Amino acid sequence: MKHYLSIDDIDSIPSWLSLAAECKKAPLKYRKLGEGKVLGLLFFNNSLRTRLSTQKAAFHLGMHCMTMNFGSEGWALEFEDGTIMDQGKAEHIKEAAQVVSQYCDVLGVRAFASLTDKEKDEAEMVLNGFKKYASIPILNMESATGHPLQAFADLITISEHSQKKNPKIVLSWAPHPKALPHAVANSFIKMMGQNPQFEFSITHPMGYELNQDLVQHIPVSYDQNKALKDADFVYVKNWSAYQPYGAVLNNDPHWMLTQDKLGQAKFMHCLPVRRNVVVEDRVLDGNNSLVIQQANNRTYAAQVALLKILESL
């Protein structure tokens, strides 16, 4: 039984990429694989792309979907062991995960970082709670510290649009009015960092250093202009500070990505994106934006992850 919790669960990137290409060409080819199987999708947070693309992927594989907004439709979950549950939480993850495992064959879970409790977020309290107590495979639909479906869709997109053997790819921080999680940035960094063919670097203002366990040997620059020079792909994303955890240190509009800064590079973003805050209209409306293709590839990323899970059952 295989999970898809992080990109570490991809056994072979080349074979996943070629499977994604195959699914994109013939989406219904594996429609018998999921027949009679139930995919439960549990949302602890809002979702547009993940919600619809994962259902679409399941549909391609012949699976039956049951979606549930856990917060508003179910019961508030307790994740701590040994608690006296006399407050707001009505159900413990131990029961919830075991119970749901009996109604589903695969379980998708979406649960963002709290950005207030670093320890719980790092421990992936919700995702790992389900992993620990469920008896079925778990599909990460964005967790506190990672978004592996997004990262795989991003990789598919880069592989489709790369015209060089060693493309230069830059992850650039951008301003945003709200504190956002690190999940997308984390998974993208892991995905890019493990491919030696990519010339990958990160740029962000001082203070926005990400988890150093992930960044490790990847070059980081505080000078956005220098970092973006001659880039082939610029991935823009806001994140809040990692230290102090979840803080919005500055919203310097000079970090917004402009067409001038982008030059001839391809523009990437996971969406939703705030126009003229994160990136200017000219970029999104220009020919070098890949954001719509990235979103389209979410379907095939989910389809490959589900397919690998189904094959492991």
CA dist 92 and 297 (Å) reads: 35
Question: What is residue 33's three-state secondary structure?
Answer: coil
Q: Scanning the structure block, which residue is given the tokens 């823009």?
A: 236
Q: Scanning the structure block, which residue is given the tokens 């013939």?
A: 26
- The number of beta carbons lying within 10 Å of the beta carbon of residue 255 is 21
Q: Binding to a copy of itself by residue 12, rule CB under 8 A?
A: no
Angle at CA of residue 301, ends 297 and 306, nearest 5°: 145
Q: Binding to a copy of itself by residue 90, rule CB under 8 A?
A: yes
CA dist 308 and 137 (Å) reads: 11
Q: Binding to a copy of itself by residue 285, rule CB under 8 A?
A: yes
Which residue's CB is nearer to a copy of itself, number 77 or number 309? 77
CA dist 81 and 123 (Å) reads: 14
Stretch 171-230 residues interacting with a copy of itself (CB under 8 A): 177
Which residue's CB is nearer to a copy of itself, number 169 or number 273? 273
Which residue's CB is nearer to a copy of itself, number 242 or number 300? 300
Taking 3-state DSSP, the helix, strand and coil percentages for the chain, each rounded to the nearest 5, stand at 40, 15, 45
In whole angstroms, how close is the CB of 71 to a copy of itself at the nearest point? Answer: 10
CA dist 65 and 189 (Å) reads: 31
Q: Binding to a copy of itself by residue 106, rule CB under 8 A?
A: no
Annotated binding residue 271:
yes
| Contact pattern from residue 251 through residue 280 relative to a copy of itself, giving x for each residue in contact according to CB under 8 A and a dash for the rest | --------------------xxxxxxx---
Q: State the residues that interact with a copy of itself by CB under 8 A.
A: 28, 36, 38, 40, 43, 46-49, 51-53, 55-56, 59, 64, 66, 68-69, 72-75, 78, 81-87, 89-92, 94-96, 98-100, 102-104, 177, 271-277, 281, 284-285, 291-292, 295-296, 299
